[in-house]
Structure 1
């Protein structure tokens, strides 16, 4: 697999992610939703100022630090991916790495620019692209757009469950986006197939190390 293939995967995921977010921002009110498949899949528009799946890092400085961390991670990630390609790592590992990079870059775009190019979203009006009065926030302070919602199960937990018995429960509750999904798929796949992904590289490293060991006379 060549480095340009990694770039194409990143670009493809970014286009899908940003196209969906742009449509959501300019066509839906905050908290509006469309039921795609009853009881388990909805498009539900929400925004968060923090991390993936609605998690947050508190305060304005927390938001700036998170965005700068994402930027550094993306820059370092691209350099590291080039190294992995040169070392001829497993194609599966490179694809997963590209998905993780694409996801990080997708949410980074929201954080860096969405506050500048969109008006504020509310419960009554959709956002405007490039509003005359300027965007809803400054550089690095944009909110991440989320919309994928899979409430597979909704109901009350059995009374016999400790601590939570009788409580109303939703599974799966987080609302996320394409970028979050790309990161999750990439990370989980690497964890599941790590032995296969790294086996060839480890064997090659072991062989090179064996060649360096001097032969006893």
Structure 2
């Protein structure tokens, strides 16, 4: 019973994330043609598919996406175990909420990877199977900065760089969970001593 509220948060994140992704998939045109401006030029809805990991990075082999999906499954299982351990030992509730956020975001993106290749037919053409090769739907576009790096920077000086992240609600949940853990790590470590 003590675990219910944390796994309920995880479930809510997955449901909202999947609902938004499906709304975007069925109601928006992919790419710049379907872009919707929300706040000025810097905050937009922009439908793209991410075939790899964060920021579009991917493994080189035909089975790289499969290995990534299996890794995500193992990581989610480990985080779920950690969450139940934290609650069972009556450890910091704030840390348990952060882990629940991360699990919710991870499961949201995992659904895309496992099922969307088959259900939404969005697996890359070179995939060995549509199952476990789905592309993650991203839609939140922040046009933060675009310009040239200072010339005095070694190796990359003068290069043109664009900070234009495109992500989804699952990524937001993961980011908030991880950032909160990083900011409050000292209080989490000292929690047992204070208790």
TM-score interval, normalised by the smaller of the two chains: 0.7 to 0.9
Aligned partner of 1:193 in structure 2 is 184
Counterpart check, 1:153 vs 2:145 = yes
C-alpha distance in 2, partners of 1:112/1:158?
Answer: 38
Q: Distance in 1 between matches of 2:116 and 2:22?
A: 10
- Structure 2 partner of 1:15: 15
The two structures have a TM-score, normalised by structure 1, of: 0.78
CA contact (8 A) 1:48 1:56 kept: no
Go from structure 1 to structure 2 and tell me whether the alpha carbon gap of 1:191 and 1:43 turns closer, same or farther (over 3 Å shift).
same
User: Aligned residues, how many?
Assistant: 187
Alignment of 1:1-217 (within 5 A): 2-31=2-31, 32-120=34-122, 138-154=130-146, 156-157=147-148, 160-162=151-153, 163-165=156-158, 167-171=159-163, 173-202=164-193
**What is the deviation of 1:59?**
2.8
Deviations 1:21-47 (A, max 9, x none): 001111122213111111210111111
> Structure 1: any 5+ residue segments left out of the alignment?
122-136, 205-217
The TM-score, its normalising length taken from structure 2, stands at 0.86
User: 1:95-118, CA deviations, whole angstroms, 9 ceiling, x for partnerless residues?
Assistant: 110011111111110000011111
1:173-209 Cα distance to aligned partner (Å, 9 max, x none): 22111111111111111111011122122566xxxxx
Structure 1 runs, 4 residues or longer, greater than 6 Å off: none
Q: Which has the larger radius of gyration?
A: 1
5+ residue gaps, structure 2: 124-128
